[in-house]
Amino acid sequence: MRNRLLATLAPLDFDLLGPELETVALVQDAVLSRAGDQIEHVLFPHSGAISLMIDMADGRTIATAAVGREGVVGSLSVLGPSPSAVTAIVRAAGTASRIPSSRFQAAFNRSPAIRHAVQIHMRAMLIQFQLGAACNGLHPVKARMARWLLHLCDYIGDDVLPLTQETLSEILGVRRTTVTLLMRNLRASGAIRVDRRGQIEIDRPRLAAAACECHGAMRLEIEEIFSMNTARSQATVGPDD
């Protein structure tokens, strides 16, 4: 089980989801749900990366968070039927397990371990939202772009990203011409290389030097949440449970 949240579940808790979980492909650039849509499925990625996007009234967009194998898309549906606040788009192809929201909610209500897994995810998302808001307000766009490239590479476990300039402009909320200039700049410093197919290959140490402190801070805090909570799960699940 590659999804880190599902991996925290003991077999009995996993079995509450297991029969309903369906493996699906995450297709590059696929829109999984749009802002305003009812959340029909809860989706646990095993690989690939998804960005959560805010669509502004003037047509501009910006990414507020990324979700990969350590997260889940659509878990807010446990609060009851409500429209999604964000648009979820696949930025790097992969696979996921998905379950109808109503089924997930029933399992969530029965299992403290599933509720705990959702809490881990919520805390990790809050870190992304809070540091992301600070970063968007305080740090230059070049550093933000470096942060996003590193962040997405972390999720896919690879140093090559299938991102177009158009996609980066949507994620960062800047014009495409700005992305072109930033990429030229990062290429000149050796932080990235663009291959013939347009894929971006990163040089991790050089790109990290161009990024702000936020990428490292996010990683550290998210890993702390996982290690703290996994230790707690193990401590509470004894032979008598």
State the residues that interact with Zn ion by CB under 5 A: 135, 139, 212, 214
Pair of tokens at residue 23: 């493996």
Is 185 or 230 the residue whose CB approaches Zn ion more closely? Answer: 185
Name the nearest CA neighbour of 49 among 7, 10, 87, 96: 96
CB of 130 to Zn ion, least distance (A): 12
Name the nearest CA neighbour of 47 among 144, 202, 153: 153
Is 41 or 215 the residue whose CB approaches Zn ion more closely? Answer: 215
Is 156 or 218 the residue whose CB approaches Zn ion more closely? Answer: 218
Report the C-alpha gap between 40 and 29 in whole angstroms: 19
Is 96 or 172 the residue whose CB approaches Zn ion more closely? Answer: 172
**DSSP β-ladder status, 87-92 and 31-33:** antiparallel
CB of 126 to Zn ion, least distance (A): 16
Q: How far is CA 71 from CA 23, 67, 74, in A?
A: 16, 5, 10
CB of 143 to Zn ion, least distance (A): 6
CB of 230 to Zn ion, least distance (A): 27
